[in-house]
C-alpha cells in the first residue's frame, strides 16, 4: 500500500480508504449489515495496509434523522487490536443541529458508539448553502475549538456538496485540517471540482475523495465511453482508469471506496499500491477529456447513488429508479426489465407524492420529483 501526507495534519494515510456506507447487507436491507462478511472485508483491508476508515452518523440507518449501524459496526470491527492500526473518520450530522448543545451531544454519542476516546478525523457533514450559516450562528467554530482542545477529536474537517464559491468561503472561514469532496473524471467541474481541489491544496488541507466511481457508474460505462478507453496503448477496465485518474493527482491524499466484495477490495488495493502521482502519460490524460465529454452526453440524470434521499416516506426506491433510467438510455432497453422488480415491491416512481423531503438531502441538487415523473412516463 502506498501512503500520502494528509495535509497539515501531518498524518500519513493509505491512498485507499475504506468507506463504510456501502457494506454488505442482509436481504437487501440497508440497515442490516452482514457483519460476518463485512468484518472479513475490513480486517483484510487493514491487514493489507489500509489505515483510513470512514463512517458517519446515519450510514446504514433507516433515515437521516437517526443513527445508523455503520458506527456501531466499525467499533466491533476495530476490536482485538485493530483500533490502533487505523484512523477513524466520522461526521457530525449537520442537518440535525439546532444549537451548540446538539453538537456536543452528537459527538459524545458518536464516541460511545465507536467505543473510542478520540476521533482522529471529525468532519462537519455535507455542508451546503442551507446549512453553513445556521451552523456558524449555532457556534460551530467554538465547538470544534473545544473538541480539539479537550481531545475528543484530533483533526477537524468538513465534507461538501455545493458550489465552488461556497467551498472557498468555508475553507477560509475556519482553520480546517482537511476536507472531503466529491470528485471523479466525469465530475471534474461539479461542486468544489478541480478548482476546489487546488484551492484546498494551496491551503495545506488534507484532501479525501468520495464518489470516485460515481456510485459504481464509472465501473460499467456505455459502449461509447468504452471505445474511448479502448484507444489507449494499455488496456485497463473502466474502474481502473477512473481510480488511476484520481491517484495521478498529487493533491489527493486518500480515495474512499465503499467496497462490499472481496474481489473489488483486492482490485482497488492493487491499483492503489501501483499508482504514483503524476504517473499517467499525456496521451492518457487527453483520453480522459474525450471520455468525460462522451459520458456526459449519455447521462440523463446526475444521480451517484449515494442514498441521502432515502428512505422515501412513500416507498420509492429513488436511487434504483434513476439507475435503471440511466442504464436504459446508456445500455439499451433490456435494462428496463429491472424496473419490474421495483413494481413488485411497491417501490416504483409513480408512488412519489412530491413531498420534497428527498430534494432537501440530495447532494447533486437533482429535481427528484420531476425526474421521477420522467421515470414513470418511460416505464409505467
Q: Are residues 330 and 233 in the same domain?
A: no
Domain containing residue 341? 318-379
User: Looking at the domain assignment, is residue 309 inside a domain?
Assistant: no
Give the DSSP H or E segment for 172.
Answer: helix 164-173
Cell of 227: 471505445
Cell of 245: 485518474
User: Looking at the domain assignment, is residue 129 inside a domain?
Assistant: yes
Contact 356, 291 (CB under 8 A): no
pTM for the full predicted model? 0.87
Measure the CA dihedral 97/98/103/104, to 10°: -140
User: Looking at the domain assignment, is residue 304 inside a domain?
Assistant: no
pLDDT tens per residue across all 380 residues of the chain:
999 999 999 999 999 999 999 999 999 899 999 999 999 999 999 999 999 999 999 999 988 888 899 999 999 999 999 999 999 999 999 999 999 999 999 999 999 999 999 999 999 999 988 899 999 999 999 999 999 999 999 999 999 988 899 999 999 999 999 999 999 999 898 889 999 999 999 999 999 999 999 888 899 899 999 999 998 899 999 999 999 999 999 999 999 999 999 999 999 999 999 999 999 999 999 999 999 999 988 889 988 878 889 889 999 999 889 989 988 888 788 878 889 888 887 899 999 999 999 999 898 889 999 999 999 999 99
Residue 268, preceding bond cis, omega within 30 degrees? no
Q: Are residues 277 and 327 in the same domain?
A: no
Q: Are residues 271 and 323 in the same domain?
A: no
Q: Are residues 229 and 347 in the same domain?
A: no
Boundary-marking domain end, from 220, 254, 281: 281
User: Looking at the domain assignment, is residue 21 inside a domain?
Assistant: yes
How remote is the C-alpha of 335 from its chain's centroid? 25
Report the number of distinct structural domains present in the chain: 2
- CA geometry: angle at 20 spanning 149 and 129, to 5°? 65
d(CA 239, CA 250): 19
Amino acid at each position: 500500500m502506498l501512503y500520502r501526507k494528509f495535509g497539515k495534519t501531518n498524518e500519513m494515510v493509505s491512498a485507499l480508504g475504506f468507506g463504510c456506507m456501502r457494506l454488505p447487507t442482509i436481504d437487501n436491507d440497508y440497515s442490516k449489515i452482514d457483519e460476518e462478511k463485512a468484518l472479513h472485508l475490513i480486517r483484510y483491508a487493514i491487514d493489507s495496509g489500509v489505515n483510513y476508515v470512514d463512517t458517519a452518523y446515519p450510514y446504514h440507518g433507516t433515515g437521516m434523522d437517526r443513527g445508523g449501524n455503520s458506527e456501531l459496526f466499525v467499533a466491533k470491527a476495530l476490536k482485538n487490536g485493530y483500533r490502533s492500526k487505523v484512523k477513524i473518520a466520522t461526521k457530525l450530522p449537520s442537518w440535525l443541529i439546532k444549537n451548540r448543545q446538539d453538537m456536543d451531544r452528537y459527538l459524545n454519542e458518536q464516541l460511545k458508539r465507536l467505543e473510542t476516546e478520540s476521533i482522529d478525523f471529525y468532519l462537519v457533514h455535507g455542508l451546503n448553502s442551507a446549512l453553513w450559516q445556521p451552523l456558524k450562528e449555532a457556534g460551530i467554530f467554538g465547538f470544534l475549538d473545544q473538541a480539539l482542545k479537550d481531545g475528543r477529536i484530533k483533526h477537524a474537517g468538513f465534507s461538501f456538496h455545493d458550489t465552488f464559491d461556497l467551498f472557498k468561503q468555508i475553507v477560509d472561514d475556519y482553520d480546517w485540517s482537511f476536507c472531503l469532496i466529491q470528485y471523479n473524471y466525469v465530475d471534474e467541474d461539479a461542486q468544489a471540482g478541480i478548482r476546489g481541489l487546488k484551492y484546498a491544496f494551496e491551503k495545506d488541507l488534507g484532501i479525501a475523495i468520495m464518489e470516485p466511481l460515481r456510485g459504481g457508474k464509472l465501473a460499467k460505462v456505455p459502449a461509447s465511453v468504452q471505445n474511448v478507453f479502448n484507444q489507449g496503448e494499455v488496456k485497463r477496465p473502466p474502474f481502473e482508469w477512473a481510480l488511476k485518474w484520481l491517484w495521478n493527482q498529487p493533491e489527493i491524499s486518500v480515495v474512499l471506496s465503499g467496497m462490499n466484495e472481496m474481489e473489488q477490495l483486492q482490485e482497488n488495493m492493487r491499483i492503489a499500491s501501483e499508482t504514483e502521482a503524476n504517473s499517467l502519460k499525456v496521451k492518457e490524460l487527453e483520453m480522459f477529456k474525450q471520455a468525460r465529454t462522451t459520458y456526459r452526453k449519455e447521462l440523463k440524470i446526475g444521480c451517484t447513488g449515494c442514498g441521502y434521499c432515502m428512505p422515501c416516506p412513500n416507498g420509492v426506491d429513488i436511487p434504483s429508479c434513476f439507475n435503471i433510467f440511466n442504464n436504459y438510455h446508456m445500455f439499451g432497453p433490456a435494462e428496463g426489465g429491472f424496473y419490474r422488480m421495483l413494481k413488485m415491491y411497491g417501490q416504483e416512481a409513480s408512488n412519489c407524492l412530491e413531498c420534497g423531503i428527498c430534494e432537501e438531502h440530495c447532494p447533486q441538487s437533482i429535481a427528484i420529483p420531476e425526474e421521477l415523473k420522467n421515470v414513470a412516463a418511460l416505464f409505467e
